[in-house]
């Protein structure tokens, strides 16, 4: 099946996003190893797609060894998976993307992976600031024209249909094109 990777710093709302996305879809976790923070988790989406839950980053309190292990795992995954059809990068809509977020975006682009950026927890921001927030996120990440930004809330469900439209489209185009 096509795979979509979900990445973001710890606590950004990745589990909440995935739970929200699959509440209208049947879901089964096909492989899960204790220590969720250390391993990739694969969610089988209606036998059509895998969501690959990548452990959260944001390494302030993590040892050098753990950081290196994480980097090696991500690198191995991103550089070898032929079924990877795109990545969802979550950022917190209340703040500018962090240096770690920018690095992760650049990393994904280095591997030529299509990226959907999701500005999550948007229910905690004012509607009046929406356009400014979106512009600032795009600017901070230096978002490619071909990559999309969607504002999302796991609380209200805002943005869910737009996210699914992107996921469905990615699942139906070819596998990764980074050879």
For tokens 């994904």, name the residue. 108
Least CB distance from residue 82 to ligand GDP, whole Å? 27
Least CB distance from residue 156 to ligand GDP, whole Å? 8
Part in contact with ligand GDP (CB under 6 A); list of ranges 6-14, 24-32, 107-115, 129-137: 6-14
β-strands 41-45, 49-53: how paired?
antiparallel
Q: Is 87 exposed, middle or buried (0-12, 13-18, 19+ CB in 10 A)?
A: buried
Q: Return the residue of 4, 12, 134, 150 that touches ligand GDP, per CB under 6 A.
A: 12
Q: In terms of CB distance, is 153 or 170 closer to ligand GDP?
A: 153
DSSP, collapsed to helix, strand or coil, labels residue 53 as: strand
What sign does the dihedral 56-59-61-64 (CA atoms) show?
positive
Residue 41 is a binding residue for ligand GDP (CB under 6 A): no
Q: Return the residue of 1, 16, 42, 59 that touches ligand GDP, per CB under 6 A.
A: 16
Q: Return the residue of 120, 125, 170, 176 that touches ligand GDP, per CB under 6 A.
A: 120
What sign does the dihedral 127-167-149-22 (CA atoms) show?
positive
Nearest to 15 by CA among 63, 49, 54, 46: 54
Cβ-contact 17, 154 below 8 angstroms: yes
Part in contact with ligand GDP (CB under 6 A); list of ranges 11-19, 22-30, 62-70, 133-141: 11-19
125-164: contacts with ligand GDP (CB under 6 A): 153-155
Cβ-contact 42, 30 below 8 angstroms: yes
46-85: contacts with ligand GDP (CB under 6 A): 56
Q: Which positions lie near ligand GDP, rule CB under 6 A?
A: 8, 10-16, 56, 120-121, 123-124, 153-155
């Amino acid at each position: 099946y096509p795979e979509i990777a979900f990445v973001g710093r710890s606590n950004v709302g990745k589990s909440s996003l995935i739970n929200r996305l699959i509440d209208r879809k049947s879901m089964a976790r096909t492989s899960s190893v204790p220590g969720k923070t250390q391993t990739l988790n694969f969610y089988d989406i209606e036998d059509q797609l895998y969501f690959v839950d990548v452990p959260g980053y944001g390494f302030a309190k993590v040892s050098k060894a753990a950081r290196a292990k994480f980097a090696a795992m991500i690198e191995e995954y991103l550089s070898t998976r032929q079924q990877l059809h795109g990545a969802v990068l979550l950022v917190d809509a209340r703040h500018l993307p962090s240096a770690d977020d920018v690095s992760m975006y650049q990393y994904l682009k280095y591997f030529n992976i299509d990226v959907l950026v999701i500005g999550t927890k948007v229910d905690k921001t004012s509607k009046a600031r929406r356009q400014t927030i979106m512009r600032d996120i795009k600017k901070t990440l230096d978002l490619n024209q071909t990559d999309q930004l969607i504002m999302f809330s796991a609380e209200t469900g805002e943005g869910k249909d737009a996210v699914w439209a992107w996921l469905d489209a990615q699942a139906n185009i070819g596998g990764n094109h980074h050879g």
